Protein backbone atom coordinates (compact mmCIF):
# COMPACT_ATOMS: atom_id res chain seq x y z
CA UNK A 1 0.00 0.00 0.00
CA UNK A 2 1.60 3.25 -1.16
CA UNK A 3 0.88 6.81 -0.05
CA UNK A 4 2.29 9.77 -1.98
CA UNK A 5 2.64 13.14 -0.25
CA UNK A 6 3.18 16.13 -2.52
CA UNK A 7 4.74 18.89 -0.44
CA UNK A 8 6.61 18.27 2.81
CA UNK A 9 5.84 21.54 4.55
CA UNK A 10 4.66 21.42 8.17
CA UNK A 11 1.14 20.33 7.14
CA UNK A 12 2.36 17.65 4.74
CA UNK A 13 4.81 16.35 7.30
CA UNK A 14 2.12 16.11 9.97
CA UNK A 15 -0.11 14.24 7.54
CA UNK A 16 2.72 11.83 6.75
CA UNK A 17 3.31 11.13 10.44
CA UNK A 18 -0.40 10.45 10.94
CA UNK A 19 -0.53 8.10 7.95
CA UNK A 20 2.37 6.07 9.31
CA UNK A 21 0.05 5.02 12.12
CA UNK A 22 -2.20 3.12 9.71
CA UNK A 23 -2.29 -0.64 9.77
CA UNK A 24 -0.03 -2.37 7.28
CA UNK A 25 2.80 0.20 7.47
CA UNK A 26 2.14 1.86 4.11
CA UNK A 27 5.04 2.81 1.84
CA UNK A 28 5.46 6.58 1.94
CA UNK A 29 6.83 8.58 -0.99
CA UNK A 30 7.37 12.34 -0.76
CA UNK A 31 7.55 14.74 -3.71
CA UNK A 32 9.03 18.19 -3.10
CA UNK A 33 11.25 20.63 -4.98
CA UNK A 34 13.11 21.76 -1.86
CA UNK A 35 16.26 19.77 -1.05
CA UNK A 36 16.12 20.52 2.66
CA UNK A 37 12.56 19.24 2.96
CA UNK A 38 13.47 16.16 0.95
CA UNK A 39 16.34 15.46 3.33
CA UNK A 40 13.94 15.77 6.24
CA UNK A 41 11.50 13.39 4.56
CA UNK A 42 14.29 10.88 3.95
CA UNK A 43 15.36 11.17 7.59
CA UNK A 44 11.74 10.45 8.51
CA UNK A 45 11.91 7.20 6.54
CA UNK A 46 10.20 8.18 3.28
CA UNK A 47 11.34 7.55 -0.27
CA UNK A 48 11.81 10.92 -1.94
CA UNK A 49 11.37 12.30 -5.45
CA UNK A 50 12.47 15.81 -6.38
CA UNK A 51 9.80 17.57 -8.38
CA UNK A 52 6.86 19.93 -8.36
CA UNK A 53 4.00 17.44 -8.53
CA UNK A 54 3.95 17.45 -12.32
CA UNK A 55 3.08 14.28 -14.23
CA UNK A 56 6.67 13.05 -14.49
CA UNK A 57 7.36 13.37 -10.76
CA UNK A 58 4.01 11.78 -9.93
CA UNK A 59 4.86 8.80 -12.12
CA UNK A 60 8.35 8.56 -10.62
CA UNK A 61 6.79 8.47 -7.16
CA UNK A 62 4.39 5.68 -8.14
CA UNK A 63 1.27 7.80 -7.80
CA UNK A 64 -0.33 5.81 -10.61
CA UNK A 65 -1.03 2.90 -8.28
CA UNK A 66 -0.99 4.71 -4.93
CA UNK A 67 -3.84 4.09 -2.51
CA UNK A 68 -3.67 7.60 -1.05
CA UNK A 69 -2.33 10.93 -2.32
CA UNK A 70 -1.94 14.01 -0.11
CA UNK A 71 -1.24 17.46 -1.56
CA UNK A 72 0.01 20.29 0.67
CA UNK A 73 2.08 22.87 -1.17
CA UNK A 74 0.75 26.28 -0.07
CA UNK A 75 -0.30 27.29 -3.61
CA UNK A 76 -3.99 26.68 -4.22
CA UNK A 77 -3.91 27.19 -7.99
CA UNK A 78 -1.04 24.73 -8.34
CA UNK A 79 -2.84 22.34 -5.99
CA UNK A 80 -5.79 22.21 -8.39
CA UNK A 81 -3.41 21.43 -11.26
CA UNK A 82 -1.78 18.62 -9.28
CA UNK A 83 -5.17 17.13 -8.40
CA UNK A 84 -6.07 17.02 -12.10
CA UNK A 85 -2.70 15.45 -12.93
CA UNK A 86 -3.20 12.75 -10.29
CA UNK A 87 -6.63 11.90 -11.66
CA UNK A 88 -5.19 11.49 -15.15
CA UNK A 89 -3.09 8.56 -13.92
CA UNK A 90 -5.10 7.25 -10.96
CA UNK A 91 -8.89 7.25 -10.65
CA UNK A 92 -9.01 5.14 -7.50
CA UNK A 93 -6.70 6.76 -4.95
CA UNK A 94 -8.16 8.69 -2.05
CA UNK A 95 -6.99 12.23 -2.79
CA UNK A 96 -6.77 14.70 0.10
CA UNK A 97 -5.60 18.30 -0.22
CA UNK A 98 -4.82 21.23 2.06
CA UNK A 99 -5.89 24.70 0.93
CA UNK A 100 -5.17 28.19 2.19
CA UNK A 101 -8.26 29.79 0.59
CA UNK A 102 -11.69 28.19 0.89
CA UNK A 103 -12.61 29.80 -2.43
CA UNK A 104 -10.67 27.03 -4.17
CA UNK A 105 -12.63 24.23 -2.49
CA UNK A 106 -15.14 23.67 -5.31
CA UNK A 107 -12.41 23.89 -7.94
CA UNK A 108 -10.29 21.14 -6.40
CA UNK A 109 -13.35 18.99 -5.72
CA UNK A 110 -14.36 19.25 -9.39
CA UNK A 111 -10.78 18.42 -10.36
CA UNK A 112 -11.06 15.17 -8.42
CA UNK A 113 -10.16 15.72 -4.77
CA UNK A 114 -12.01 13.51 -2.30
CA UNK A 115 -11.33 15.49 0.85
CA UNK A 116 -10.38 19.12 1.36
CA UNK A 117 -8.97 20.71 4.50
CA UNK A 118 -8.82 24.51 4.64
CA UNK A 119 -5.99 25.23 7.04
CA UNK A 120 -7.49 28.45 8.38
CA UNK A 121 -10.82 26.76 9.10
CA UNK A 122 -9.09 24.04 11.10
CA UNK A 123 -7.22 26.67 13.11
CA UNK A 124 -10.46 28.55 13.74
CA UNK A 125 -12.20 25.36 14.82
CA UNK A 126 -9.39 24.66 17.25
CA UNK A 127 -9.68 28.15 18.75
CA UNK A 128 -13.43 27.70 19.05
CA UNK A 129 -12.96 24.37 20.77
CA UNK A 130 -10.55 26.01 23.20
CA UNK A 131 -13.25 28.54 24.13
CA UNK A 132 -16.11 26.03 24.35
CA UNK A 133 -14.23 23.26 26.15
CA UNK A 134 -12.67 24.14 29.52
CA UNK A 135 -10.11 21.35 29.21
CA UNK A 136 -8.77 22.46 25.83
CA UNK A 137 -6.58 25.43 26.80
CA UNK A 138 -4.56 23.42 29.32
CA UNK A 139 -4.20 20.56 26.85
CA UNK A 140 -2.96 22.92 24.17
CA UNK A 141 -0.48 24.55 26.53
CA UNK A 142 0.86 21.12 27.43
CA UNK A 143 1.26 20.24 23.75
CA UNK A 144 2.99 23.50 22.90
CA UNK A 145 5.31 23.16 25.87
CA UNK A 146 6.56 19.88 24.40
CA UNK A 147 7.01 21.45 20.90
CA UNK A 148 5.18 18.77 18.91
CA UNK A 149 3.87 18.92 15.39
CA UNK A 150 0.09 18.95 15.27
CA UNK A 151 -1.74 16.59 12.93
CA UNK A 152 -5.41 16.56 11.99
CA UNK A 153 -6.46 12.93 11.79
CA UNK A 154 -9.72 11.19 10.96
CA UNK A 155 -11.15 8.21 12.79
CA UNK A 156 -14.40 6.25 13.08
CA UNK A 157 -16.59 6.81 16.12
CA UNK A 158 -15.90 4.03 18.62
CA UNK A 159 -18.63 1.73 19.89
CA UNK A 160 -18.57 3.29 23.35
CA UNK A 161 -19.04 6.79 21.88
CA UNK A 162 -22.24 6.01 19.93
CA UNK A 163 -25.15 7.86 21.50
CA UNK A 164 -22.90 10.36 23.24
CA UNK A 165 -21.97 13.87 22.19
CA UNK A 166 -18.75 14.99 20.46
CA UNK A 167 -17.77 16.77 23.69
CA UNK A 168 -17.66 13.37 25.42
CA UNK A 169 -14.86 12.31 23.05
CA UNK A 170 -12.39 14.88 24.36
CA UNK A 171 -11.68 18.57 23.78
CA UNK A 172 -9.66 18.08 20.61
CA UNK A 173 -12.52 16.90 18.39
CA UNK A 174 -12.63 19.49 15.60
CA UNK A 175 -15.56 18.25 13.52
CA UNK A 176 -17.97 15.40 12.85
CA UNK A 177 -18.26 13.92 9.35
CA UNK A 178 -21.67 12.41 8.55
CA UNK A 179 -23.19 11.51 5.18
CA UNK A 180 -20.63 13.58 3.33
CA UNK A 181 -21.23 16.67 5.46
CA UNK A 182 -18.98 18.30 8.04
CA UNK A 183 -20.51 19.53 11.30
CA UNK A 184 -18.86 21.49 14.11
CA UNK A 185 -19.10 19.77 17.52
CA UNK A 186 -21.63 22.28 18.93
CA UNK A 187 -24.14 21.84 16.09
CA UNK A 188 -27.47 20.32 17.23
CA UNK A 189 -27.44 18.04 14.17
CA UNK A 190 -24.61 16.02 15.74
CA UNK A 191 -25.54 16.34 19.40
CA UNK A 192 -25.76 12.53 19.44
CA UNK A 193 -23.11 10.49 17.62
CA UNK A 194 -24.24 7.65 15.36
CA UNK A 195 -22.60 4.49 14.07
CA UNK A 196 -20.66 5.36 10.92
CA UNK A 197 -19.83 8.90 11.98
CA UNK A 198 -16.22 9.94 11.64
CA UNK A 199 -14.34 12.45 13.79
CA UNK A 200 -11.69 14.94 12.77
CA UNK A 201 -9.37 15.20 15.75
CA UNK A 202 -6.19 17.04 16.57
CA UNK A 203 -3.33 14.83 17.67
CA UNK A 204 0.25 15.53 18.62
CA UNK A 205 3.08 13.92 16.69
CA UNK A 206 6.57 14.37 18.20
CA UNK A 207 8.76 16.31 15.80
CA UNK A 208 11.83 14.50 14.50
CA UNK A 209 14.93 15.63 12.74
CA UNK A 210 14.71 19.31 13.68
pLDDT value of position 32: 97
Burial class (CB in 10 A: 0-12, 13-18, 19+), 181: exposed
pLDDT value of position 64: 96
Instruction: Give 16's pLDDT tier (boundaries 50, 70, 90).
Output: confident
Percent of the chain whose predicted confidence (pLDDT) is above 70? 75
Average confidence (pLDDT) over 35-44: 94
HSE, side-chain direction, 13 A CA sphere, residue 97: 31
Terminal C-alpha separation, the chain: 28
Average confidence (pLDDT) over 59-65: 97
pTM for the full predicted model: 0.63
Instruction: Give 91's pLDDT tier (boundaries 50, 70, 90).
Output: very high
DSSP string for residues in the chain: -EEEEE--SHHHHHHHHHHHTSTT--EEEEEES-HHHHHHHHHTT-EEEES-S-HHHHHHTTGGG-SEEEE--S-HHHHHHHHHHHHHH-SSSEEEEEES-GGGHHHHHHHT-SEEEEHHHHHHHHHHHHHH-THHHHHHHHHHHT--EEEEEEEEPPGGGTTS-GGGG-TTEEEEEETTEEE-TT-GGGSS--TT-EEEEEEEE-----
Regarding predicted confidence, which is higher, 127 or 179?
A: 179
What's the mean pLDDT when you consider all of the chain?
Answer: 81
Average confidence (pLDDT) over 11-37: 81
pLDDT value of position 170: 64
pLDDT value of position 180: 79
- pLDDT tens-digit profile of 98-154? 888 889 999 999 999 998 888 766 666 555 555 554 444 454 444 444 433 455 567
pLDDT value of position 28: 93
Is residue 171 predicted with pLDDT exceeding 70?
no
Is residue 71 predicted with pLDDT exceeding 50?
yes
Select from 134, 121, 116 the least CA-distant residue to 174.
121
Average confidence (pLDDT) over 57-63: 98
Is residue 210 predicted with pLDDT exceeding 60?
no
Q: What is the CA radius of gyration of the chain?
A: 17
Is residue 209 predicted with pLDDT exceeding 50?
no
Is residue 80 predicted with pLDDT exceeding 80?
yes
Amino acid sequence: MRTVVVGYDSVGRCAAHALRGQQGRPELVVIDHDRQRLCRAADDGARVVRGSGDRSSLLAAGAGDAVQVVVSIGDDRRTAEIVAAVREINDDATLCVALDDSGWRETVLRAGADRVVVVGEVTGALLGAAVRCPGAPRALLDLLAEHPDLAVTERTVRAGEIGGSPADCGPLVLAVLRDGMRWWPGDPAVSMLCAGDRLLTLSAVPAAGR
